[in-house]
Structure formats: structure tokens, C-alpha cells
């Protein structure tokens, strides 16, 4: 079976995305995950450009990679200088990596305007740099920067640059669409010429400025290219690089090439989210294969069909890439949405049950009011419990009061005083916070944590406020979405009100109650001893 090498450049090209700054520790963690995932090459960075990458390579030398080769990246020698004296080349050699990736200019425009040298000198720079690294035993991958733009501007010169790389002894020549504007039909035509002139293995390094990086990468494989460069989640400068989280499943599931093992492919969703967490950028929900919504179904007709045969509205099995099917509930939902959504619960509803119709009607009324349950499955499940008379509140609010004060020094002060009742016991307490919602959250937890100690394990991880209809200005209805996490899972809840504090309170109460219910706490039995102690303290 024909093989394709996956060359990951997340640690170098991916980190050029605005807002991404990976520490050495982050880079080491990602490198180990990439190796475990099964990529062929990991580009660690450019040691000649910054101290961080030098430190990374020093620490990475102690890591035993099982699947991947670590590559050091850099440019050809400088114009008019011997390759042996070039500090960039010295830095690459000092990393001790088995593989060096060298980029050089393919576009005469860049040779004249960026390098400020002659076309002949540029050819010598390419050939001599590669030949020197080969002479000391390095595998050399040559990145032909701006190759396609260079070819369109001056075809013969662009071809001469990759022929120079071949003369120098390059192991692979990678054709780069550095500006990301290449169209697939242009790619096919250019590749047919390149394959006639250069008989070495070829690679593709595509950027996504025209949204063609994935298409061009896949087409390149169809045209015979054997190395694909890309990044996890498509991170990269401007519009990003070719997205390996889309390319690898397409190669394996659509083109029939086994790039990694089926078990490794199942970890691609987890890898995508792991890297996203480290770079602190939420991955797009609509990202193919690995996105949160990649296998989400909202329309009632779609959901009914998927419940009978997933292939009706899914192009691939989500389990193959470690993702999962999600059934969304909304005003577009039918009874199938409700029945499928409750499949895994003790309160499972059948399609023809009267309760199912009641839940669906209530759902549509609440969404008309402004609720949205697509990202608030915790609130949806509590709604079903309430509609089925299977819900018993874990506490009852008797009142809360907020104090917000802007002091002379300019600091804002927020304090919440709260009264709640658990069983027959009233708990009255107060807490401060960095804002009114944070103060309210702190006060509620302070009141309940002795009774429900598991609340200490709950962490509010996201808080969003949406204005539902801006016609009424500051008096408009608002929707608050809260995401909460414990050591096992995360869940979303929602609250709607013209008052943002009340909307926050509704979502906050749902988040805590749903979390406690999921941990299967008996409603009040486990708290009995603590309640007795509270009674004695209040007496």
C-alpha cells in the first residue's frame, strides 16, 4: 500500500498564528502527543531565530520518540557567505536532530527584493546548504518557499531552484503555497511539469488564505506527492495552514490510505482539543471530523432519520475519529429528538408517550421566550425531570441581595448576601466577588458546601451573555450560558430574563443542581448529619 508521510509544523508554523505563544513546556507536551498520535515528522522550531527554540531542542534531546523524527528548521546560507560559517546552519547542526528542514527562495521577486542578491547566487545558496548538511549525515527536507507563485511568475527559474536542491542531495522537495492563493486546477498543471523535471519524492506545504489548503493537499496525494505538511487545527499565520485534523481522516477514510492505525485515528479529536487547550484558543465548533458540532443534529427530520440509520445524515462514523453524535434540542425538534436525547437516562421517554409531547411543547414555549438548549444540556435534562414530576430541588432560595459599590480609588466592590433553605434549615451568609455574578456564585457555594461538599469540585469555566433582541436596548431580554466542570465532565446550563443577574442566577442554580444530580447524591440523606449540625449551631 502506498504511504504518505505526515509532517507536523504546529510547533513552528502553527505558533505564528496571532495569539499563540507556546512555552518550551507546551512544545514538549505537544511533541509527545504528536509522536504518540503517529505523525512521521515533527518540526520543533527554528533554532537560529530565538532562544526558546534552542532550549526546546536541548530538552527534546532527552525524549525518546517512538514514531516521529524531530526536525530543526532554518534557511539556506546567507548570500556571499560560506555555508560552514553561517550561524543559522550552525544552530541547526547543534540541535543534533537527524533531520534538517531548509527553506529557500523559488520566486525571483523574493530573490531580488528580499534577499537582495542574484538569481545565480540564490541557486548556489540552495545547493551548497543542502550538500553541506548531507555531507555530515543529515536527512534534508527542502521547502521551496513560494514555489507556486514563483512558478506562475517565472516557471523556468522556479524549476531551476528545485533542481538545485536535487543536485545538493535533498531527500524530499516540498512545494510551498506560502501565500495560500493556489487553486486546485493550477496545482495539477504545475505538478505535471515538476514531476517531469524532478524525480525525487515531493511534498506539499499549503496555506489556507483561499480556503484551499485541504483540497490542494489531498489533490497532491492523488497526483503522487508523498509528504504532507500541516498543523493541528490548521493553526498558522494569517488564515492558517493545512489542517491535519481534516486531512488525515480524509486520507484514511475517504482515500483508503492507512496513514496511522485505526486506534491512533480515534485519538484525533482528543489531540485537537488538547492542543487547543494548550494554545488557549477554543477550536471552531464546525471543524470537520473533530469539531463539537461535526456530528450534531438539530432538525427534527434529520434526527428521526439518524435514529434509524446514521448514514442518512452522517458522512462518516464519529467513533472512527473519537468524536460523538450529538442530538440537539430546539424549536426545530420533533418527538424523535426528545426520545433519542433521553435514551441513556432512567427517565427514557418513548415517542408515543403523552409526556414526550408535553416536553416538546414546553421546550418550544421556552425557546420562544428566549431559551436555547443546544449548549445547555444540563438545563434540558432538568427540564425533563421537572416535566415528569421527578425533580426535587436540593435547596430553596429565600432571597438574595446585591451590593455593588464603586469606591473613590476606582475599584468596584461586589457583595452578595443570600438566604437559602435546605430541608428545614435556613442558611444565611454573604460573600464578595470580582463582580456581582461571581459574588453570588461564591455566596451560594458558601451556603451549600457544608451540606453538599462535592460543590467544591465544581468549577465555572465559561460565562456568556447574549442579548436576544436589541430593540429594547438595555431593557432587552438576555440569555446567560454557563459552562461548569468537575473532575469527570463538563455541562452547560442556561437562564433567560430581562435582568442579567436573574438570568445568571437561573443558569447558576441549574449548573450546581445538575452537577450534584449527575453525581447521584441521594436527595437529602447524605446531608442529614451536616443539617443536624447546622441546626445545633443555629439554636
Superfamily covering domain 5-260? Aldolase class I (3.20.20.70)
Residue-wise pLDDT for 346-390, tens only, equals 455 555 565 666 666 777 777 777 787 766 788 888 887 777 776
Are 5-260 and 396-538 in the same CATH fold? no
User: Does domain 396-538 bear CATH number 3.30.160.270?
Assistant: yes
pLDDT of residue 345: 47
User: Which of 170, 164, 167, 157 lies closest to 101, judged by CA?
Assistant: 170
User: Which of 536, 467, 472 lies closest to 503, judged by CA?
Assistant: 467
Give strand pairing partners of 202: 173
Q: How confident is the model at residue 97 (pLDDT cuts 50, 70, 90)?
A: very high
Q: What is the mean pLDDT of residues 484-495?
A: 85
Residue-wise pLDDT for 146-181, tens only, equals 999 999 999 999 999 999 999 999 999 999 999 999
Q: How confident is the model at residue 528 (pLDDT cuts 50, 70, 90)?
A: very low
pLDDT of residue 111: 96
What pTM value is reported for the model? 0.70
Q: Which residue has the higher pLDDT, 324 or 473?
A: 324
Q: Taking 90 as the threshold, does the pLDDT of residue 244 lie above it?
A: yes
Spatial separation of the C-alpha atoms in residues 364 and 35, rounded to whole Å: 48
Q: How confident is the model at residue 533 (pLDDT cuts 50, 70, 90)?
A: low
**C-alpha separations of 125 from 78, 106, 111, 115, 118 in Å:** 7, 12, 11, 11, 11
Q: Taking 60 as the threshold, does the pLDDT of residue 340 lie above it?
A: no
Give yes or no for a contact between 248 and 315, defined as CB atoms under 8 angstroms apart: no
Per domain, the residue ranges of the chain are: 5-260, 296-387, 396-538
Give phi and psi for 239, each to the nearest 5: -90, 0
Q: Taking 70 as the threshold, does the pLDDT of residue 205 lie above it?
A: yes
Alpha helices, DSSP H, located in 21-176: 24-37, 51-60, 87-95, 108-110, 119-135, 147-153, 155-168
* Sheet with 412-422: strands ordered across: 396-406, 412-422, 425-433
Amino acid at each position: 500500500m502506498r504511504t504518505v508521510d505526515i509532517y507536523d509544523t504546529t510547533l513552528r508554523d502553527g505558533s505564528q498564528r496571532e495569539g499563540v505563544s507556546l512555552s518550551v513546556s507546551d512544545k514538549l507536551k505537544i511533541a509527545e502527543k504528536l509522536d504518540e498520535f503517529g505523525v512521521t515528522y515533527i518540526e520543533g522550531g527554528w533554532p537560529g531565530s530565538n532562544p526558546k527554540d534552542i532550549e526546546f531542542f536541548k530538552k527534546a534531546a532527552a525524549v525518546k520518540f517512538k514514531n516521529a523524527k524531530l526536525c530543526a528548521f532554518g534557511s539556506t546560507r546567507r548570500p556571499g557567505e560560506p555555508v560552514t560559517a553561517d550561524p543559522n546552519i550552525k544552530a541547526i547542526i547543534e540541535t543534533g536532530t537527524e533531520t534538517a528542514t531548509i527553506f529557500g527562495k523559488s520566486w525571483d521577486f523574493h530573490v531580488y527584493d528580499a534577499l537582495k542578491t542574484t538569481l545565480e547566487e540564490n541557486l548556489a545558496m540552495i545547493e551548497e546548504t543542502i550538500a553541506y548538511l548531507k555531507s555530515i549525515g543529515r536527512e534534508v527536507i527542502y521547502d521551496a518557499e513560494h514555489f507556486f507563485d514563483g512558478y506562475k511568475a517565472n516557471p523556468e527559474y522556479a524549476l531551476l531552484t528545485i533542481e538545485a536542491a536535487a543536485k545538493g542531495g535533498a531527500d524530499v522537495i516540498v512545494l510551498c503555497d506560502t501565500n495560500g492563493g493556489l487553486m486546485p486546477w493550477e496545482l495539477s498543471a504545475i505538478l505535471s511539469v515538476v514531476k517531469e523535471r524532478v524525480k525525487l519524492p515531493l511534498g506539499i506545504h499549503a496555506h489556507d488564505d483561499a480556503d484551499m489548503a485541504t483540497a490542494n493537499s489531498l489533490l497532491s496525494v492523488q497526483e503522487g506527492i508523498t509528504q504532507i505538511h500541516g498543523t493541528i487545527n490548521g493553526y498558522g499565520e494569517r488564515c492558517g495552514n493545512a489542517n491535519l485534523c481534516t486531512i488525515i481522516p480524509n486520507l484514511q477514510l475517504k482515500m483508503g490510505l492507512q496513514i496511522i492505525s485505526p486506534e491512533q485515528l480515534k485519538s484525533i479529536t482528543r489531540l485537537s482539543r488538547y492542543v487547543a487547550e494548550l494554545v488557549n484558543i477554543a477550536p471552531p465548533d464546525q471543524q470537520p471530523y473533530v469539531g463539537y458540532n461535526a456530528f450534531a443534529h438539530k432538525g427534527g427530520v434529520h434526527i428521526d432519520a439518524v435514529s434509524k440509520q446514521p448514514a442518512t445524515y452522517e458522512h462518516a462514523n464519529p467513533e472512527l475519529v473519537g468524536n460523538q453524535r450529538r442530538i440537539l434540542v430546539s424549536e426545530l425538534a420533533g418527538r424523535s429528538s426528545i426520545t433519542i436525547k433521553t435514551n441513556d437516562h432512567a427517565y427514557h421517554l418513548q415517542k408515543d408517550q403523552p409526556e414526550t409531547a408535553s416536553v416538546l411543547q414546553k421546550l418550544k414555549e421556552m425557546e420562544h421566550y428566549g431559551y436555547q438548549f443546544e449548549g445547555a444540556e444540563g438545563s434540558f435534562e432538568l427540564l425533563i425531570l421537572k416535566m415528569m414530576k421527578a425533580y426535587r430541588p436540593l435547596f430553596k432560595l429565600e432571597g438574595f441581595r446585591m451590593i455593588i459599590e464603586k469606591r473613590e480609588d476606582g475599584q468596584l466592590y461586589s457583595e452578595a448576601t443570600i438566604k437559602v433553605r435546605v430541608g428545614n434549615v435556613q442558611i444565611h451568609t454573604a460573600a464578595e466577588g470580582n463582580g456581582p455574578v461571581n459574588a453570588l456564585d461564591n455566596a451560594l457555594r458558601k451556603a451549600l458546601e457544608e451540606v453538599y461538599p462535592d460543590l467544591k469540585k465544581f468549577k465555572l469555566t465559561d460565562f456568556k451573555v447574549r442579548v436576544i433582541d436589541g430593540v429594547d436596548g438595555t431593557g432587552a431580554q438576555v440569555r446567560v450560558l454557563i459552562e461548569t466542570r468537575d473532575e469527570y465532565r463538563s455541562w452547560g446550563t442556561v437562564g433567560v430574563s430581562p435582568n442579567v443577574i436573574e438570568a445568571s442566577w437561573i443558569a447558576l442554580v441549574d449548573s450546581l443542581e445538575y452537577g450534584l444530580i449527575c453525581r447521584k447524591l441521594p436527595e437529602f440523606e447524605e446531608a442529614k448529619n451536616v443539617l443536624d449540625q447546622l441546626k445545633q449551631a443555629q439554636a
